[in-house]
Amino acid sequence: MSEVETPARTWRSRFRLIHLAPLLALIALSAWIFASPIGSSPDDDFHLTSTWCANGLRTDLCESGPTDAERVVAPVLLHASCYAYQPEISAACQDEYLALNPEPSVVTDRGSFENNYPPVYYFVMNTFASHDLQVSALVMRFVNVLLFLGIVTALYLLLPVSRRGSLLWGWIITMVPLGMFLVASNNPSSWAIIGVGSSWLAVVGYFETSGRRRIALGAIAAVGVVMAAGARGDAALYSVIGMAVACILTLRRERAWLLQAILPVALSIVAIAFYFSSRQATVAISGLNNDAATDVPLDSFGRVAYNLLNMPSLWSGIFGSWGLGWLDVTLPAVVYLGGLAAFVAIAFAGIRERSWRKTGIIAGLTLVLWLLPAYVLFRGNNVVGENVQPRYLLPLIIIVAGVAVFTLVGRGLALGGVQQFFIVIALGMAQSVALHLNLRRYITGINEQGWNLDAGTTWWWAGLPISPMGVWLLGSAAFTVLLFVLVRQLGRRHELSQ
């Protein structure tokens, strides 16, 4: 006699470990939200001021300044990053500024007041701005994380099963540690990463599905492009590249394909419009910060050669060879070697399946990653290590990772048990070490040592019911379990060929 099917039994039969992935990712990214004080991402004094001043009607937060290029803001917006470039001091230095009157009282020109950046990111985040800087900034960080998780989860459910490898591997092997730090920050690079990294694959799915799924994927692509192009000028260009990549991968000599291609063409036009609406478009002409030109005694040829030969150091920076935050959170070799090894292992395993489209795209993207920053550095009279940072290139590297494991014949990327173990351990350890050192830098400054983050704490979030060690342990455990779940799922060939 067969057993009676109960709701509990039905739920257990349908439950898969993969269903826990969004929750595990939320816990891991939440640890990064609390691992840094307000003002900890690069140029946060600029970005926070731009956010608080993005809506001219909210004069309680930001008032007009003496000139069009100036505004009057609360002092804490300018001084929250008081610890920047001083890794030996903790974030406790910002307490005196948090205690000041939150009303606008200080004139500044540090902000996107003359269309320096596209306006969408700042305007949306301004919705959550208030006189309580810490609460507002934390809410904004959670909004960014939830947007990331919502878009990735929606893509996982809507994309053809064979595309889940590109989606998940693309994020897994590029997010530690810089991507996790930035997605959970107040920096517009968060939206650049989310938008560029998701929109190209949404367009691939748009071409390969039909009906409501196609409509939903097209909508996600549009949201991704607006997020990216509305946050950073370079991300607008990367969005156009992403649209081109999606079109090449799905190209068919059919009238139906040409009609469907109207969407990525239209999104590319939108992205280009955003790009030229901001002053970041001038970077292509003059480079970054000519007034901060290098003191390295090189002629033009020497500078070009130096930059081309050292360009890979910018790429490795996303894995931790460069510092986090204001580049003053130095990470040990185990972090970037672990992340880089995982990237190389998965990317080369994916490249084994070759096609002219895939090979051509990877070669083209590699050239862009090599020549574009070299050109910007040359125009600014700079060398690698000045002005151009790894975070500017991370969105493109995410596309490279996704294309590397992209399959045109419906097979998944099969991994053996030892390979899966290596990926989980390498990335899990890299993330855990990076999270610990990031916490240490702000809690006590790097002069203090020791594994116990709760000892000698000089800065921590007021009212947060969990200690620094608790944040580290939860974040490390959640991310390692997340890796186990995702790698185990993706390592099963049949999972991606159903």
Domain limit, last residue, from 126, 150, 165: 126
Q: What is the pLDDT of residues 22-68, one digit of tens each?
A: 999 999 999 999 999 999 999 999 999 999 999 998 999 999 999 99
Domain-embedded: residue 21: no
Domain limit, last residue, from 91, 109, 126: 126
Of residues 48 and 353, the one with the higher pLDDT is 48
407: left (phi over 0), alpha (psi -120 to 50) or beta: beta
Domain-embedded: residue 104: yes
- Residues 369 and 426 placed together within one structural domain of the fold: yes
Q: Residue 295: is its pLDDT beyond 60?
A: no
Domain-embedded: residue 215: yes
**Contact predicate 170/417, CB 8 Å:** no
Contacts of 214 (CB under 8 A, 6+ apart): 205, 206
Average pLDDT over residues 345-362: 90
**Among 103, 274, 272, 105, which residue's Cα sits nearest to residue 188?**
274
Sheet holding 63-64, edge to edge: 63-64, 71-73, 106-108
- Residues 120 and 229 placed together within one structural domain of the fold: no
Domain-embedded: residue 205: yes
Does residue 329 sit in helix, strand or coil?
strand
Domain-embedded: residue 138: yes
- Residues 111 and 137 placed together within one structural domain of the fold: no
- Residues 341 and 380 placed together within one structural domain of the fold: yes
How many CA atoms lie within 13 Å of 405's alpha carbon, on the beta-carbon side? 32
Domain limit, last residue, from 126, 146, 175: 126
- Residues 285 and 358 placed together within one structural domain of the fold: yes
Average pLDDT over residues 90-100: 96
Q: What pLDDT, on the 0 to 100 scale, is given for residue 496?
A: 45
**Contact predicate 183/392, CB 8 Å:** no
- Residues 53 and 170 placed together within one structural domain of the fold: no
Residue type, position 30, single letter: S
Q: What pLDDT, on the 0 to 100 scale, is given for residue 333?
A: 97
- Residues 35 and 52 placed together within one structural domain of the fold: no
Peptide bond into 118 cis (omega under 30): no
Q: What pLDDT, on the 0 to 100 scale, is given for residue 480?
A: 98
Task: Encode 147-160: b = buried (16+ Cβ within 10 Å), e = exposed.
Answer: bbbebbebbbebbe
Q: What is the pLDDT of residues 150-207, one digit of tens each?
A: 999 999 999 999 999 999 999 999 999 999 999 999 999 999 999 999 999 999 999 9
Average pLDDT over residues 439-455: 95
Rounded Cα distance, 314 and 307, in Å: 10
- How many domains is the chain partitioned into structurally? 2
- Residues 112 and 147 placed together within one structural domain of the fold: no
Rounded Cα distance, 458 and 444, in Å: 6
Domain-embedded: residue 18: no
- Residues 106 and 207 placed together within one structural domain of the fold: no
Domain-embedded: residue 313: yes
Least confident piece of the model among 87-91, 237-241, 283-287, 487-491? 283-287
- Residues 296 and 259 placed together within one structural domain of the fold: yes
- Residues 340 and 353 placed together within one structural domain of the fold: yes
Domain-embedded: residue 16: no
Query: Sorting pLDDT into bands at 50, 70 and 90, what band is 284?
Result: low
Q: In terms of residue numbers, what domain contains 301?
A: 29-41+132-496
- Residues 115 and 140 placed together within one structural domain of the fold: no
Rounded Cα distance, 30 and 23, in Å: 10
Nearest-10 Cα torsion for 355, 344, 368, 189: 120
Residue type, position 345, single letter: A
